Amino acid sequence: MAAIVRLSSVCRRGVNPLFYQSTLLARPLVVPHKCQEQPHLLTARIHASQALYASSGSKAASLHWTAERVLSILLLSMGPIAYFNPSPVVDYSLAAALTLHGHWGIGQVLTDYVHGDTKVKMANAGLFLLSTITFAGLCYFNYNDVGICKAIALLWSK
Amino acid sequence: MGTTAKEEMNKFWSKNAKLNRPMSPHITIYKWSVPMMMSITHRGTGVGLSGAISAFALAALVLPGNYPDYLDMIHSLSMGPYLIGLAKFGIAFPVSYHTLNGIRHLWWDLGKGFRIPEVYRTGYTVIGLSIIASIALASL
């Protein structure tokens, strides 16, 4: 959906069209002095669609960042809830929130310290496996044993 | 036209790895500061706590028996109140510190508290509150 405006067709003075044909410029047309006698034709904007921007315009990283913060706040609120209102719902929510927060956290650590395409892929695969096992184990504990809230309470009563 | 930050980073690392360059000294020569230490402690407690949770989950899947029995087993070792208190502090401190510093991080994410005196003030507050909270929790 790129709107490419060929300035040469607009400005009859033979301005070099290549300068103005970049589809990746998201700013209004630069108006050369010679063309100012036709202002009504030069209000077109050159802009590129999201698809053309694909790598530099993706919002995935930004959304991930926001999701991390939302999860952190959620996890914070689960502390008092688990203390005052322990229940199986809280147990499973805690299992999910803790595992995901840890998964994303370690993911950031790997991004910081692991470099090279293969190593990154291997490390992330290992992390995924670990997080899956962690979540499975916590759910198993919630189902077949006393559950996270009770476990902490019992541990502290010793 | 234009590369992403991720692409630039990958280019940096692959070029330097290909040329077999050694890494410049950084943490071995740079003067340590309280914010630096708090930051790496936040990361350390995070990784540590995550590892502990994973170990617990794995144990739940693999070990026979149930949790209260294991607790009774530990209790029967009769470690004495001080060792138990120390163990509780050892659990409570990473949790308290990571939680409180986490709130400090969220504060930064709102764009607040970046001036250096504020960084130090909130930092010392987190350290102080963590110690107090951990002692309080350990004595429960």
- Whether residue A2 is predicted with pLDDT greater than 70 in this model: the reply is no
User: Is A149 inside a domain boundary?
Assistant: yes
The Cα–Cα gap between A19 and A11 comes to: 13
Q: Is residue A50 part of a domain?
A: no
For residue B2, what pLDDT is reported? Answer: 81
Please determine, for residue A83, whether its predicted confidence score (pLDDT) is greater than 80.
yes
Per-residue tokens: B55: 């170990």
Please tell me the predicted confidence (pLDDT) of residue B6. Answer: 83
Within a domain: A23: no
pLDDT tens column, A38-62: 555 555 555 544 444 444 578 898 9
Q: For residue B115, what are its two tokens?
A: 């001036």
Residue A133 domain-assigned? yes
What is the structure's pLDDT at A51? 47
Q: Is residue A37 part of a domain?
A: no
Output the CA–CA distances (angstroms, integers) from residue A83 to A40, A76, A99, B96, B119, in the order listed: 68, 12, 19, 15, 31
Could you report the predicted ipTM of this complex, rounded to two decimals?
0.92
Summarize pLDDT for A94-153 with one digit per residue, the tens.
Answer: 999 999 999 999 999 999 999 988 999 999 999 999 999 999 999 999 999 999 999 999
Task: Provide the pLDDT for residue B4.
Answer: 85
Q: What pLDDT does B129 receive?
A: 98
Contact pairs from chain A to chain B, CB under 8 Å: 92
Query: Scanning the structure block, which residue is given the tokens 């360059």?
Result: B21
What is the per-residue pLDDT for B5?
Answer: 84
Q: Is 50 exceeded by the pLDDT of residue B49?
A: yes
Q: Does A126 touch chain B (CB under 8 A)?
A: no
Q: Residue B12 corresponds to which amino acid?
A: F
Task: State yes or no: pLDDT of B74 exceeds 50.
Answer: yes
**Does any domain span residue A79?**
no
Residues of chain A found within 8 Å of residue B103, distances taken between Cβ atoms: 76
- The set of residues, in sequence order, having a beta carbon less than 8 Å from that of A13 and lying 6+ positions away, is A32, A34, A35
Question: Cβ B60–A76 below 8 Å, yes or no?
Answer: no
Q: A18, A78, A92, A138: which to substitute to probe chain B, counting the most B Cβ within 10 Å?
A: A138
What is residue A43's predicted lDDT score, i.e. its pLDDT?
A: 54
Q: Domains of chain B (ranges plus CATH)?
A: 34-139 (1.20.1300.10)
| Model pLDDT for residues B102-112, shown as the tens digit of each residue | 999 999 999 99
- Give me the mean pLDDT over the B91-112 stretch: 98
Domain count, chain A: 1
Range of the domain at A149: 87-157
Report yes or no: A22 at the B interface, CB cutoff 8 Å.
yes
Residue A124: CATH number of its domain: 1.20.1300.10
User: Cα(B47)–Cα(B94) distance, rounded to whole angstroms?
Assistant: 10
Name the nearest CA neighbour of A47 among A57, A55, A36, A32. A57
CA neighbor of A46 nearest in space, from B4, B7, B1: B1
Instruction: For A45, list phi and psi in degrees, rounded to 5.
Output: -110, 140
Whole-angstrom distance, CA of residue B88 vs CA of residue B139: 8
Confidence class for position A31, pLDDT limits 50, 70, 90: low
Interval B3-45: pLDDT, tens:
888 889 899 999 999 999 999 999 999 999 999 999 999 999 9
Average pLDDT (B69-80) is 85
- Looking up tokens 């410029």 gives A25
Q: Are A142 and A95 in contact (CB under 8 A)?
A: yes
Mean pLDDT, residues B72-98: 90
pTM score over 0.90: no
User: Is A3 a domain residue?
Assistant: no
**Residue A119 within a domain:** yes
**A chain contacts of residue B87, beta-carbon cutoff 8 Å:** none
**How confident is the prediction for chain B on average, in pLDDT?**
94
Q: Do B67 and A141 touch (CB under 8 A)?
A: yes
On average, the pLDDT of chain A sits at 79
- Cα separation, B23 vs B20, in Å, equals 9
Neighbours of A74 (CB within 10 A): 14
Q: What span, in angstroms and rounded, lies between the C-alpha atoms of A108 and A114? A: 10
Is pLDDT above 80 for A15?
A: no
For the beta carbon of residue B70, count every other beta carbon within 10 angstroms: 13
